[in-house]
Amino acid sequence: MRVSLAQHATTEHDTAAGVTRFVILVPDGMADEPIDALGGRTPMEAAATPCMDALAAAGEVGLVRTVPAGMPAGSDVANLSVLGYDPRAVYTGRAPLEAVSMGVKLGPGDIAYRCNFVTIADGLMRDNTAGSMDSEAAAVLIAALRDRFAGSPFEFHPGVSYRHLMVWRDGMEAECTPPHDILDRPVGGYWPRDLDGEAHAAAELMRVMESAHEVLGGLRPGTDIWLWGQGTAPRLPLLAEQRGLRGAVVAAVDLIRGIGVAAGMDVIEVPGATGDLETDYAAKGAAAVAALGDHDLVLVHVEAPDEAGHQGDALAKVTAIERVDAEVLAPILAMPHPPALLVLTDHPTPVRLRTHTDPPVPFVIATPAESAEAAAPSASAKPFTEAAAAAAGLLVGSGPELMDRFLARAR
């Protein structure tokens, strides 16, 4: 269910004393490696994060393994884990979750593919975002692709910015590579590949991509589409059934919204939330505070640190982390009765690599009393960093285990 921010305007925004509410704040891709340009510090170490540091002093800090062994280090797998699901049991692909968010129905034989607008030049994947294409320009390209493939089993659906969806009705699944994993590499070695029992799937997808290249040739920005994240319709147990909680999601990207919808959570529409570096951080913080008035658990996802990591921009990543702290977390802590808080990244997105990795990530858990302690003017501070989390000596083996720990500790 989608809920506009305006629908919360008359809701009591402050969590009542004695009633435990929960917030999970996910600055996507925040964890990193030491970077020479930052004086040998990670972006988390270089960023000024007084709210996270106060939570680290008041609460419980450690590392959690969000990506199960052998699974891809994507935001799809990692955020399912963060929300307490075992990806090994429920994961069917990234694109199907985005389809859920977009209201695109998948039948038993349908395969959804994520469709990025990208820039390929001299045979290299130069940009997996086509210059961070805006949604208005992208809508024109999607309309042109719909015209080209009208009457075929290939459907194109508009998303946000460069992120869109293709559905192959009664189609086939191929092995595909995320474009952000091959930045500045030759694309020739990463075209779709047939899976066992799916002969000719790759050839059909190549035909679609080549035809799309012809369409985009005169309608740039973006030179090509890149298909990936394939899979069938997801089936998630509802959060209310699993945890007894009414949930809401504050996020700009369709992937996270889709996870929320599939879990039976309300999706809060936030004007100005874009999923890029210039998203409206403050609006997300306000939306989270408002949603706590009539929800038990609110998942707040901020894509910006991940985007900076993919762009290889260390300073932009520092800025994004600082803005999450000041404009998203601070208003939540400023509530008269702040909620229990879990702050963690889903996976690292190292600036050096410009793609995701799968080591355990830092987390901090704070009970409502600890959140109130962190918000006090006299609050102590302890760095919330990768090294500090590792030094704490606590390693939680999975996202579901961390969710159990968070809810039990906070209650």
CATH of the domain at 299: 3.40.720.10
Residues 198 and 240 in one domain: no
Q: What is the pLDDT at residue 198?
A: 75
Angle between helices 94-102 and 75-82 (to 10 degrees): 70
pLDDT at 9 > cutoff 60? no
Domain that holds residue 43: 2-91+234-410
Stretch 128-148: mean pLDDT, rounded? 94
Indicate the residue type of 118. Answer: V
pLDDT band at 6; cut points 50, 70, 90: low
Identify the sign of the CA torsion 221, 225, 229, 235: positive
State residue 10's pLDDT score. 37
Average pLDDT over residues 351-365: 97
User: Which of the residue ranges 36-45, 166-175, 271-280, 377-386 would you say has the lowest mean pLDDT?
Assistant: 271-280
Residue 411: the pLDDT is: 80
**Average pLDDT rounded to a whole number, residues 138-157:** 97
Q: Per the domain annotation, does 97 fall within a domain? A: no
Domain boundary among the residues 189, 207, 231 is at 231
Cα distance between residue 171 and residue 153, in whole Å: 8
Same domain, 184 and 308: no
Tell me: do 284 and 175 sit in the same domain: no
| Stronger pLDDT, 111 or 3, i.e. the higher one | 111
Q: Establish if 203 belongs to a structural domain.
A: yes
Please check whether residues 155 and 239 belong to one and the same domain. no
**End residue of a domain, out of 231, 262, 284:** 231
CA distance 118 to 115: 9
State the CATH number of the domain containing residue 122: 3.30.70
| Same domain for 145 and 20 | no
Confidence of residue 162 (pLDDT cuts 50, 70, 90): very high
**Residue 99 falls within a domain, yes or no?**
no
Strand residues in 65-139 grouped as ranges (E): 111-121, 124-127
In this structure, are 258 and 334 located in the same domain? yes
Burial class (CB in 10 A: 0-12, 13-18, 19+), 205: buried
Structural domain includes residue 328: yes
Do 391 and 242 belong to one domain?
Answer: yes
196 lies in the same domain as 244: no
Tokens of 176: 């595909």
Determine the average pLDDT of the residues in 261-280. Answer: 94
Share of the chain above pLDDT 90, in %: 91
pTM assigned to the model: 0.90
Count CB atoms within 10 A of the CB of residue 275: 25
Phi and psi at 213, nearest 5°, equal -60, -40
Number of domains in the chain: 2
Q: How many CB atoms lie within 10 A of CB 169?
A: 13
User: What is the chain's alpha carbon radius of gyration, rounded to the nearest angstrom?
Assistant: 21
Is 22 part of a structural domain of the chain?
A: yes
Can you tell me which residue has the tokens 């030049």?
121
Regarding whether 80 and 182 lie in a shared domain, the answer is no
Whether 285 shows a pLDDT value over 90: the answer reads yes
Q: Is residue 263 part of a domain?
A: yes
Please state, in angstroms and as integers, the Cα–Cα distance from residue 82 to each residue in 48, 58, 344, following that order: 25, 22, 9
> What pLDDT sits at residue 219?
84
Both structure tokens of 178: 């995320």
- DSSP classification of residue 352: T
The answer to whether position 185 is within a domain reads: yes
Pick the closest to residue 154 from 196, 187, 195, 113 (CA basis): 113
Whether the per-residue pLDDT at 352 is higher than 60: the answer is yes
| Domain-located, residue 85 | yes
Same domain membership, residue 368 and residue 244:
yes
- The burial of 187, by beta-carbon neighbours within 10 Å (0-12 exposed, 13-18 middle, 19 or more buried), is given as middle
User: Are 38 and 85 within one domain?
Assistant: yes
The model's pLDDT over 210-265, given as tens digits with 9 standing for 90+, comes to 999 999 987 888 899 999 999 999 989 999 999 999 999 999 999 999 999 999 99
Cα–Cα distance for residue pair 111/96, rounded to 1 Å: 8
Last residue of a domain, one of 198, 231, 264: 231
Mean pLDDT of the chain: 94
pLDDT value for 390: 98
Contact between 99 and 115 (Cβ < 8 Å) = no
Q: Are residues 221 and 115 in the same domain?
A: yes
Reported as a single tens digit per residue, the pLDDT across 10-66 is: 344 445 556 799 999 999 999 999 999 999 999 999 999 999 999 999 999 999 999
Tell me how far apart the alpha carbons of residues 67 and 87 are, in angstroms, rounded to a whole number. 8
